[in-house]
Amino acid sequence: MEILDILLTASFWAAAVRIASPLIFATLGELICERAGVLNLGIEGIMVIGAFAGWMTVYLGGGLWTGVLVAMLAGMLFGLLHATLTVPFGLSQHVVGLGVTLLATVTASFAYRLSLPEVTSPPKIEPFQPFAIPGLSQVPLIGPAFFAQTPLTYLAFALIALVSIVLYRTPLGLALRAAGENPASVEAQGLSVTAIRMGAVIVGSGLMAIGGAFLTMSAFSSFFFEMVNGRGWICIALVVFGAWKPGKAALGALLFAAFDALQVRLQQTPMGAVVPYQVFLMVPYILSILALVLMSRRAEVPAALMIPFNKGER
Amino acid sequence: MRLEPIANPSALRSIGLPAGALALTVLVASLLALIAGANPFATLGLILKGAAGSKFALLETLNRATPLIFTGLAVAVAFRAKLWNIGAEAQLYAGAIVTVLLGTGALPLPSALLIPGIALAAMLAGALVLLGPVLLKTRLGVDEVVTTLLFNFIMLLFVSWLLEGPMKDPMGMGWPKSPALEKAARLPRIVEGLRLHWGFALATLSALAVWVIQTRTTLGYEIRAVGLNAEAARFAGIPVGRVMVKTALLSGGLAALAGFSEVAGLKGNLTLDLSPGFGYTGIIVAMLALLNPLGVVVSAIFVAGVFVGADSMSRAAGVPTYIADILMATALLTMVLALKLTRLKVRWR
């Protein structure tokens, strides 16, 4: 009964959409990388560096959108590192990805300590404010959920459409998907697999970093070391759950966020008094594993995912 | 650009490139020290002094290396079979939980029986934690990278619940920590009066055991064959799934020993900060050792030295201690690149 009550409140749906937003950015970013044939395990660390860079920029006096831009550039820089090592040099995408995650995470920690040596609790910034779209935001349930969010959430939803269109309706998208399915065919067209894959990883990493920046600039207003807390890994599961399709993956992110919003609210109910709060906090991770298990048989993995391409080799 | 294999890499190549990777890492460290407003040479000197400048420093380094040897071995064993166990952190905590469970008076045994018993039970727990993701991989094809990573978060929450609930120390003044181990369950020190405990000896012996398994047994051969080419191994009649499971049991068990030795040898109880990422650092340790079990001992001592040294340098020179983490991540990336380039030639066109 409590669950039904929760599902009928507008604040629940608003929270679900808010929680989904960073996941949508990062999931789309990972999806672009994987569609081009590169597994990007740098995602967790790139989200951390994005969260830090965006927040730091605003703290140092930059505008909010400048912060988003700096976060994206920081993410792209680590994406360039990942791409250089995995694409032309063909290093293990597992090892490089984990290495990039470690490097990006500790770069953020180092820079944080360097710029704020004394503070015990991180300073707050003035984050993005919700912007209610006139008219639409008045619709019951759906209005507050989808049309009274911060600008970054609108951007996330616009990106779902944009990524779908680019992937499925443009020559660039065709080439990118081909690089992940049959790279030799791309070379036969006179295009460079290396360039396409590197571009995909760099752009994808930029999106992951914006997802991280959402946490410090839209959801919370400070930077904490542990704030990304496995969201990157969850996004990798969401890509699989969404069968490498942008719309489905975003829908998965929303569904996932709804469960997350639900567990937070269930903690406040009589059920939350009986069940330890740690069990509720485990829900997102368990759901991600379940999603992977459910989709394991049906998913159509890009055929050349994790297979390095060396020109002239067959 | 294109990469072409080199049949016989020259000595210059196979030594020069890894050395170059280390040099690049030191360069990055110097740059970071400069950015932090410190003298790079002084900073590096202080790290070295803090790691090995005195008997105390050296023992501290060996103590810190102990869990890293275990997690490094866990990763080395698994990665050799291309089993991507990123969950050493979870397996470590599983070992620690069992150590507390059995070491706080549950078993009325003398030390000589109690300690090996606890160690074996801890290994079993760690092995079981990894068994889940591995069965999901071999039976359903679920990627183990993500599942083992996610298990780390689940395990930490589980430990948090234990320490606030059933395993909470009633005398802990409200802190989330477990009761202390009984004296019989504690690992003694190797030399009375010095802080180094028998966990370090156990870690070194484990490395030796893993080396024997890898080079002198059928299982070791099968693990390598599966890692090199699972399809070819299957074709040659090697039961790939079963080899994966055996590898996982070994890997999970080794990682759990890290938790066992930290609790029984060093800390004496379980807290949520038992491991400052030993499971993840184990990946760096294993990669720097080229997945060689004996090399793991050396690289774990090196990595531990950098961390211990950076701690004491940070207090003296004011450069954030995270410089050690950046160094290690840089070393990992430059080293895998250097190793690749010893076997491949870059041809620009």
Residue by residue, DSSP assigns A123-187 as PP---PPPEEPTTGGGSTTHHHHHHEE-HHHHHHHHHHHHHHHHHHHSHHHHHHHHHHH-HHHHH
CA pseudo-torsion sign B288, A47, A78, A62 = negative
Averaged confidence pLDDT in chain B: 93
Question: Which tokens sit at B244?
Answer: 């994966």
| Model pLDDT, residue B44 | 93
By Cβ distance, the residue of B1, B322, B328 closest to A113 is: B322
Q: Is the pLDDT of residue B349 over 70?
A: no
Q: Is the pLDDT of residue B9 over 70?
A: yes
Average pLDDT on B71-78 reads 97
Cα–Cα nearest to B77, from B250, B202, B212, B230: B250
| Residue B187 Ramachandran class (φ > 0 left, ψ -120 to 50 alpha, else beta) | beta
Cβ neighbours of B158 in A, within 8 Å: 278, 282
By Cβ distance, the residue of A96, A233, A240 closest to B336 is: A96
Averaged confidence pLDDT in chain A: 92
Q: What does the alpha-carbon distance between residue A20 and residue A251 come to, in Å, rounded to a whole number? A: 9
Listed by number, the residues of chain A in 215-274 with a beta carbon closer than 8 Å to a beta carbon of chain B are 229-230, 233-234, 236-237, 240
Average pLDDT on B177-188 reads 93
Q: How confident is residue A109, by pLDDT bands cut at 50, 70 and 90?
A: very high
Q: What does the alpha-carbon distance between residue B82 and residue B153 come to, in Å, rounded to a whole number? A: 23
Q: Is the pLDDT of residue A314 over 80?
A: no
Which amino acid makes up residue A122?
Answer: P
Q: Strand B344-347 to strand A148-149: parallel, antiparallel, or no bridges (unpaired)?
A: unpaired
Min Cα–Cα distance to chain B from A71, Å:
19
Cβ neighbours of B165 in A, within 8 Å: 276
Min Cα–Cα distance to chain A from B3, Å:
7
Cα–Cα nearest to B74, from B126, B152, B150, B16: B126
Q: Are B142 and A296 in contact (CB under 8 A)?
A: yes
Q: Are B154 and B87 in contact (CB under 8 A)?
A: no
Min Cα–Cα distance to chain B from A136, Å:
38
Listed by number, the residues of chain A in 91-130 with a beta carbon closer than 8 Å to a beta carbon of chain B are 91-92, 94-96, 98-100, 102-103, 105-107, 109-110, 113-114, 117
Q: What does the alpha-carbon distance between residue A275 and residue B176 come to, in Å, rounded to a whole number? A: 18
Asked if A300 is an interface residue toward chain B (Cβ–Cβ < 8 A), one would say no
Q: Are B256 and B100 in contact (CB under 8 A)?
A: no
Give the residue carrying structure tokens 């994966």: B244
Give the residue carrying structure tokens 């079990």: B293
Min Cα–Cα distance to chain A from B247, Å:
18
| Model pLDDT, residue A1 | 59
Q: How confident is residue A312, by pLDDT bands cut at 50, 70 and 90?
A: low
Count of all residues that appear for chain A in the document: 314
Exposure string for B133-165, b = 16+ CB within 10 A, e = fewer: bbbbbbeeebbbbbbbbbbbbbbbbbbbbbbbe
Q: What does the alpha-carbon distance between residue B270 and residue A97 come to, in Å, rounded to a whole number? A: 31
| Model pLDDT, residue A299 | 64
Q: How confident is residue A143, by pLDDT bands cut at 50, 70 and 90?
A: confident
Say what percent of chain B tops pLDDT 90.
Answer: 81
pLDDT in tens, A224-279: 999 999 999 999 999 999 999 999 999 999 999 999 999 888 888 888 888 999 99
Average pLDDT on A61-71 reads 97
Q: Are A311 and B346 in contact (CB under 8 A)?
A: no
Q: What does the alpha-carbon distance between residue A27 and residue A208 come to, in Å, rounded to a whole number? A: 7
H or E segment to which residue A105 belongs: helix A93-115
Q: Are B277 and B240 in contact (CB under 8 A)?
A: no
Average pLDDT on B152-161 reads 96
Average pLDDT on A4-31 reads 91
Is B36 in a helix, a strand, or coil? coil
Question: Which CATH code, of 1.10.3470, 3.30.1050, 1.20.1300, 3.40.210, is assigned to A2-113+152-295?
Answer: 1.10.3470
DSSP code, position B185: G
Strand extents, DSSP E, chain B? 2-5, 344-347
DSSP secondary structure string for all residues of A79-98: HHHHHHHHTTS---HHHHHH
Cβ neighbours of B328 in A, within 8 Å: 102
Rounded (5°) CA angle B173-B174-B175: 95
Q: What does the alpha-carbon distance between residue A264 and residue A49 come to, in Å, rounded to a whole number? A: 26
Please answer yes or no on whether B3 and A310 come within 8 Å at the CB atom. yes
DSSP code, position B344: E
CA dihedral A26, A94, A104, A246 (to 10 degrees): -10
Average pLDDT on B200-223 reads 95
Domain spans in chain B, listed from the N-terminal domain onward = 69-293
Q: Are A159 and A152 in contact (CB under 8 A)?
A: no
Q: Is the pLDDT of residue B182 over 60?
A: yes
Which amino acid makes up residue B120?
Answer: L
Q: Is the pLDDT of residue A38 over 60?
A: yes
Is A212 in a helix, a strand, or coil? helix
- Where helices occur in chain B by DSSP H, the ranges are 11-35, 40-52, 55-80, 88-103, 111-140, 144-164, 198-216, 218-228, 230-235, 240-261, 278-288, 293-317, 323-343
pLDDT in tens, B253-274: 999 999 999 999 999 999 999 9
Cβ neighbours of A282 in B, within 8 Å: 153-154, 157-158
Q: Which residue has the higher pLDDT, A12 or A73?
A: A73
Complex ipTM? 0.94
Q: What is the CA B87 to chain-centroid distance, rounded?
A: 11
Q: By mean pLDDT, which of A53-57, A102-106, A285-289, B190-194 is the weakest?
A: B190-194
DSSP code, position B177: B
For B237, what's the count of Cα atoms within 13 Å in the CB-facing half-sphere?
A: 0
Q: Express the helix, strand and coil content of chain A in percent, nearest 5 each.
A: 70, 0, 30
CA distances from B51 to A55, B67, B329 (A): 35, 17, 19
Q: What does the alpha-carbon distance between residue A273 and residue B321 come to, in Å, rounded to a whole number? A: 41
Please answer yes or no on whether A282 and B157 come within 8 Å at the CB atom. yes
Say what percent of chain B tops pLDDT 70.
Answer: 100
Q: Which residue has the higher pLDDT, B170 or A178?
A: A178
CA pseudo-torsion sign B308, B310, B316, B320 = negative
pLDDT in tens, A83-95: 999 999 999 999 9
Q: Which residue has the higher pLDDT, A196 or A147?
A: A196
Q: What does the alpha-carbon distance between residue B280 and residue B153 come to, in Å, rounded to a whole number? A: 13
Q: Is the pLDDT of residue A2 over 80?
A: no
| Model pLDDT, residue B39 | 93
| Model pLDDT, residue B82 | 93
Q: How confident is residue A313, by pLDDT bands cut at 50, 70 and 90?
A: low
DSSP code, position B39: -
Question: Which tokens sit at A84?
Answer: 């250089």
Average pLDDT on A97-119 reads 94
Rounded (5°) CA angle A126-A129-A130: 165
B347 φ, ψ (degrees, to nearest 5): -115, 120
Q: What does the alpha-carbon distance between residue B227 and residue B26 come to, in Å, rounded to a whole number? A: 32
CA dihedral A293, A294, A300, A301 (to 10 degrees): -20
Cβ neighbours of A230 in B, within 8 Å: 149-150, 152-153
Q: What does the alpha-carbon distance between residue B150 and residue A233 come to, in Å, rounded to a whole number? A: 7
Q: What does the alpha-carbon distance between residue A130 and residue A292 come to, in Å, rounded to a whole number? A: 33
CA distances from A235 to A242, B116, B241 (A): 10, 41, 28
